[in-house]
Structures are given as structure tokens and as C-alpha cells.
């Protein structure tokens, strides 16, 4: 992603990364469970149902396969909250929205995934271990999965929530040159180099 972002009239920066989440899933585990793969018509009830059905326990009650890696990272969690109509803060950046109905509903969905249906936990194996079926994650992780040609992975858009399908989180990373910089020309050359690398990638 290449562009620029202005935060009020004070700071302008070139964005290098934005937190956009999607679903990545193990097709083999879906096939074993006899489940259809995720699709663009899914909602969060569909995701919860699949995660529950993909959770496998042995005769001792020990979980040997998890349905989903709980979306606790910043971007995936905010994606869930946005989909339910919530957010960290309001558009002015001055008021917390964590206690808003939408934020509570999104956090409750994640809590239910773990504490009510036990389809996830605070620590579950990563998808590359083939002991977890679904993960909500951003494009930065895809290279790890592409490298594993022995495992059939696929990606899909995130489900739609009550507020719609909102795959993006309101967080960005970027590069800027401050007015106090002693080397603005070198800083600009560095930014241009990074942006060219992003275009190639």
C-alpha cells in the first residue's frame, strides 16, 4: 500500500501498512469434518458454528484440534469489534468506545468462542501445526503459509457482522519527516526507497 495520510492538519505521513484482516483456513480439516469452506456470504454465526464443529476432543476430553485461533491481535480484534458496530475510540480520538454496545458485542463474541463453546483458548497451536483450523489474520502472515506446499490453505474475506463486513482496522504504520529533522533530504530518500520496495512487493 502506498499513499499518504493526514492526521488533522498537523502530521502528514506516507503509509506503509494498514491492518486489514481476512480468514485463512486449513482445507483438509474442513474436508475431514465434512464442512463447506468459508465463503463471502458467511456471518459471525456461521464462523462460530464452523469453529465449534472443527474442535475435536479425545476420549479424555482433551482438545486435540481447535476450531479457531481467537482473534486477540490488535487488527483482528478490532475487525470483530467494527463488524459489531464498536471501536476503541470515537472519530475525534478523545472518547473511549470500549463500553459501547457494539464493542461489548464484539468482545463477547470472542469470549463466547473461548469460554462458552471452548472452540479456542488463550494459547492454541498455530495453523501451521495443523491443530487449528481457522485464523483471522492479515496479509503479513501469508508468506509463511505459501511456503508450506504440503498443507492446503485458502483465504476468504471476514464474515459480515451486524454493522456489515468490515475487514480493515483503524491502525496504520507510516513514515514522516519532522520539521526538526537535520537531514530532510536523506529522510526523503529513505521514504522513497521504502515506498519503491512496497510497490515491487
166 and 79 Cβ atoms separated by less than 8 Å: yes
pLDDT, one tens digit per residue, over 74-87 is: 788 999 999 999 99
pLDDT, one tens digit per residue, over 159-193 is: 999 999 887 665 567 777 888 889 989 988 888 88
pLDDT, one tens digit per residue, over 38-66 is: 999 999 999 999 999 999 999 999 999 99
Q: Is 61 helix (H, G, I), strand (E, B) or coil?
A: coil
pLDDT at 200: 47
pTM of the model: 0.80
Kindly report the backbone phi and psi dihedral angles of residue 199, in degrees, each rounded to the nearest multiple of 5, phi listed first: -65, -40
pLDDT at 9: 57
Reference 31, options 186, 148, 135, 153; nearest CA is 153
Give the CATH class of 22-166: alpha beta
pLDDT at 11: 59
Alpha-carbon gap, residue 108 to 195, rounded angstroms:
39
Mean pLDDT, rounded, of the chain = 86
pLDDT at 181: 87
33 and 26 Cβ atoms separated by less than 8 Å: no
Q: How big is the CA angle at 18 (ends 12 and 20), to the nearest 5 degrees? A: 155
Residue ranges covered by each domain of the chain: 1-19+169-201, 22-166
Q: Is 59 helix (H, G, I), strand (E, B) or coil?
A: coil
Amino acid at each position: 500500500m502506498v499513499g499518504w495520510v493526514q492526521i488533522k492538519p498537523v502530521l502528514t505521513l506516507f503509509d506503509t501498512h494498514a491492518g486489514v484482516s481476512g480468514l485463512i483456513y486449513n482445507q483438509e480439516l474442513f474436508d475431514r469434518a465434512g464442512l463447506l469452506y468459508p465463503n463471502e456470504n458467511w456471518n459471525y454465526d456461521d464462523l462460530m458454528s464452523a469453529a465449534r464443529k472443527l474442535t475435536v476432543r479425545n476420549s479424555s476430553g482433551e482438545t486435540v484440534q481447535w476450531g479457531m485461533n481467537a482473534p486477540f491481535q490488535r487488527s483482528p480484534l478490532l475487525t470483530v469489534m467494527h463488524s459489531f458496530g464498536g471501536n476503541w475510540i470515537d472519530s475525534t480520538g478523545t472518547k473511549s468506545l470500549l463500553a459501547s454496545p457494539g464493542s461489548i458485542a464484539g468482545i463477547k463474541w470472542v469470549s463466547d468462542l473461548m469460554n462458552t463453546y471452548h472452540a479456542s483458548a488463550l494459547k492454541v497451536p498455530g495453523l501451521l501445526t495443523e491443530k487449528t483450523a481457522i485464523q483471522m489474520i492479515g496479509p503479513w502472515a501469508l508468506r509463511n503459509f505459501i511456503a508450506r506446499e504440503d498443507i492446503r490453505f485458502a483465504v476468504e474475506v471476514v464474515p459480515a457482522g451486524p454493522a456489515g463486513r468490515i475487514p480493515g482496522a483503524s491502525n496504520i504504520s507510516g513514515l514522516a519527516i519532522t520539521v526538526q529533522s537535520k537531514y530532510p533530504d536523506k529522510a526523503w530518500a529513505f521514504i522513497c526507497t521504502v515506498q519503491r520496495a512496497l510497490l515491487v512487493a
